[in-house]
Amino acid sequence: MGKVATKDAFDWIATEPPILVASSLIMRLLNDLSSHEEEQKRGDAASSIECYMKEYGVTKEEAHTKIRNIIQNYWKDLNEEYFKVDVTIVPRVLLMPIINLARVAEFLYKDEDAYTFSKNNLKDVISAMVIDPIISTDDNKKKKNRLFGDGVFVQ
């Protein structure tokens, strides 16, 4: 990232731009939606679900619905801000980790808390992508991948 991550780019990220805030909140809220009940059992800190329920006097289901709407709005903010950022100051390559954080959150917390309980579906998906990649062409089928270290393939 040497010449890409300039002082201007660092100064920009230090201002906590809306794209960064949206991505972070998407991650936080998706985590709360999928793990709030388990965290309550463990006695962890209050989640956004609990806070919303107490503040507005609503049921858990109503809080879930509202939090999902908030997440949708943050996705809109994230997408809008992506195109607003001045690429002469912050190149797109530096924006991608911010976007990818939200994408990973959607993946990890879509159906369950796959981060906390990673032995379930997450392990299989990562294994399929890294250990047993899909080979798409006949030429690639002929090439043999050698396993190097812990799951890194070299040709």
pLDDT for the residue numbered 108: 78
State whether 150 and 77 are in the same domain. Answer: no
Domain containing residue 94: 7-112
pLDDT bucket at 135, cuts 50 / 70 / 90: low
Q: What is the domain count for the chain?
A: 2
State whether 63 and 126 are in the same domain. Answer: no
pLDDT for the residue numbered 114: 55
pLDDT for the residue numbered 59: 96
State whether 103 and 150 are in the same domain. Answer: no
Sign of CA dihedral 111, 99, 5, 8: negative
pLDDT digits (tens, 9 = 90+) for 48-92: 999 999 999 999 999 999 999 999 999 999 999 999 999 888 999
Cα dihedral 28/29/34/38 (nearest 10): 70
Give the pair of three-digit tokens for residue 80. 């809008």
Give CA separation, 102 vs 17, 58, 61, 78, 146, in Å.
Answer: 15, 27, 23, 9, 32
